[in-house]
A and B are shown apart, each in its own frame.
Chain A
């Protein structure tokens, strides 16, 4: 079973920041938080991951709360091409298993 819960869907205006929350209240100390997205029916695409520090890359920022029980993926300037299902995943260090939850369907509106 997935160890994360996410809102089913969200809308965001084009050009604004999209903030996608994820709850992982049962996360353990050695478990990473990963974010992927799936555009239409393409293969899921890696976005970013983190353990306890906030992370930023060219696609997004990841903010992890101090207690690590929740995180937020931020797309700073959402475009129409960011419309996708966003998955938040918790993966145990040293294991190969990524368990996907139901994800958040983000719709970016013109």
Chain B
């Protein structure tokens, strides 16, 4: 079973459209993340949720809206897509131990978004 799974793996769409990427983890982790990797390969954190609560919200345009229906799922909805949104989006999860320390990240395989 895949620990962190994202769908779709590839997404090609026109500028101005709205699209969603879904992420699910079966590791029982409390915390989930969205990272964006652009064409220069920089991995930048976008959002993080802990037990369905938003805890990290980097300077991301408000066209991007994460949603966590439960702690195993973190979806990313993007409105009015722009050319610059083309990137690979990675979902990740981690567990917080009893001492409050966050463990290592487990990443999904990525969702490659191409905006034409």
Contact = CB atoms under 8 A, between A and B. Distances in A.
A and B interact: yes
Interface of A: 34, 36, 38, 41-46, 49, 85, 87, 91, 93-100, 102-103
A41 B104 CA distance: 19
Given A41-B88, A41-B110, A44-B90, A97 B45 contact: yes
Nearest to A34: B104
Interface stretch (B12-20, B48-56, B66-74, B77-85): B48-56
A96 B102 contact: yes
Contacts, number: 53
Contact of B105 (A98, A102, A103): A98
Interface of B: 4, 31, 33, 35, 41-45, 48, 50, 55-56, 88, 90, 92, 94, 100-102, 104-110, 112
B41 A85 contact: yes
Contact of A96 (B42, B44, B48, B106): B48
Contacts of B33: 96
Given A96-B55, A96-B56, A97-B48, A44 B43 contact: yes
Contact of A93 (B43, B92, B101, B110): B101
A87 B43 CA distance: 10
Nearest to A47: B104
Given A42-B110, A96-B94, A97-B48, A36 B101 contact: no
Classify the secondary structure of B's interface with A.
strand
B100 A94 contact: yes
A66 B48 CA distance: 33
A43 B4 contact: yes
Contacts of A43: 4, 90, 92, 107-110
A58 to B, nearest CB: 14
B106 A91 contact: no
B87 to A, nearest CB: 11
A102 B38 CA distance: 12
B59 to A, nearest CB: 13
Listed from nearest, the 7 A-B pairs whose CB atoms lie closest are A43-B107, A46-B104, A100-B43, A44-B107, A96-B48, A43-B109, A94-B100
Given A85-B41, A97-B48, A42 B105 contact: no
